A and B are shown apart, each in its own frame.
Chain A
Amino acid sequence: MSILAELQRRFGDAIVETHEHRGDLTGVVARDALLAVLAHCRDDAALAFDVLMDLTAVDYLKFPGREDGPRFEVVYHLYSIARNHRLRLKVRLDEDDPRVPSAVAIWPIANWLEREAWDMFGVRFEGHPDPRRLLLYEEFVGHPLRKDYPINRRQPLIGPAS
Chain B
Amino acid sequence: MAETTRREFMLGEGSGTGSGPQNVHVGIGPAHPAMHGIIRITTELDGEVIVGADVEIGYLHRAFEKDCEHGGWNNAIPYTDRLNYVSPLINNFGYASAVEKLLGIDITERCKYIRVIMSEISRVCDHLTCVGASAMELGAFTVFLYMIKAREFLWELVEDVTGARLTISYGRVGGVKADLPAGFGDKVVHAFKETREVLDEVHRLLTGNRIFMDRMVGVGALSREETIGYAITGPLLRAVGVPYDVRRAQPYYVYERLQFEVPTQQDGDNYSRYLVRMAEMEQSMRIVEQALAAIPAGPVNVDFAGRPIDPASYVDQGKQGKTEGLLLVPLTLSPNLEGQQRAALRRVNVADKRVVLPPKENAYGSIEGLMNHFMLIMEGYGIQPPPGEAYFAVEGANGELGFYVVSDGGDRPYRVRCRPPCLPPMAALHRMIKGEMVGDLIPTFGSVNMIGGELDR
Q: Which residues of A contact B57 (CB under 8 A)?
A: 134-135
B422-457 at interface with A (beta carbon < 8 Å) = 423-424, 426-428, 456-457
A135 vs B417: C-alpha distance when bound (angstroms):
15
Q: In whole Å, how far is A103's beta carbon from the nearest beta carbon of chain B?
A: 11
Stretch in A5-13, A52-60, A92-100 with 4+ CB within 8 Å of B: A52-60
**B66 contact from A22, A51, A58, A144, Cβ within 8 A:** A144
**B58 contact from A84, A109, A134, A151, Cβ within 8 A:** A134
Cβ proximity bits A5-47 to B, threshold 8 Å, 1 near / 0 not: 0000000000000000111101000000000000000000000
A45-99 at interface with B (beta carbon < 8 Å) = 50-54, 56, 58-59, 62-64, 75, 77, 81, 84, 86, 88
**CB pair B61 A136 closer than 8 Å:** yes
**CB pair B390 A58 closer than 8 Å:** no
A134 vs B231: C-alpha distance when bound (angstroms):
17
**CB pair B228 A81 closer than 8 Å:** yes
Interface size class for chain B? 35 or more
Let me know if A145 is at the binding interface, CB within 8 A. Answer: yes
Let me know if B175 is at the binding interface, CB within 8 A. Answer: no
Q: In whole Å, how far is B202's beta carbon from the nearest beta carbon of chain A?
A: 31
Q: Which residues of A contact B402 (CB under 8 A)?
A: 53-54, 77
**CB pair A64 B66 closer than 8 Å:** no
**A84 contact from B102, B250, B388, B389, Cβ within 8 A:** B250
The number of A-B residue pairs with CB atoms under 8 Å apart is 94
Q: In whole Å, how far is B233's beta carbon from the nearest beta carbon of chain A?
A: 8
A71 vs B168: C-alpha distance when bound (angstroms):
37
Q: Which residues of A contact B404 (CB under 8 A)?
A: 54, 56, 75, 77
**CB pair B390 A21 closer than 8 Å:** yes
B338-395 at interface with A (beta carbon < 8 Å) = 387-391, 393
A26 vs B244: C-alpha distance when bound (angstroms):
23
Q: In whole Å, how far is A95's beta carbon from the nearest beta carbon of chain B?
A: 17
Q: Which residues of B contact A (CB under 8 A)?
A: 57-58, 61, 63, 65-67, 70, 101-102, 104, 226, 228-231, 233, 242, 244, 249-250, 387-391, 393, 400, 402, 404, 406, 408-409, 414-415, 417, 419, 423-424, 426-428, 456-457
Sampled A-B contacts (24; CB under 8 Å): A22-B102, A22-B390, A24-B390, A52-B231, A53-B231, A53-B393, A53-B402, A54-B417, A58-B406, A64-B409, A77-B404, A77-B419, A86-B391, A108-B226, A109-B229, A109-B424, A109-B427, A112-B423, A133-B58, A134-B57, A136-B58, A136-B61, A145-B65, A151-B70
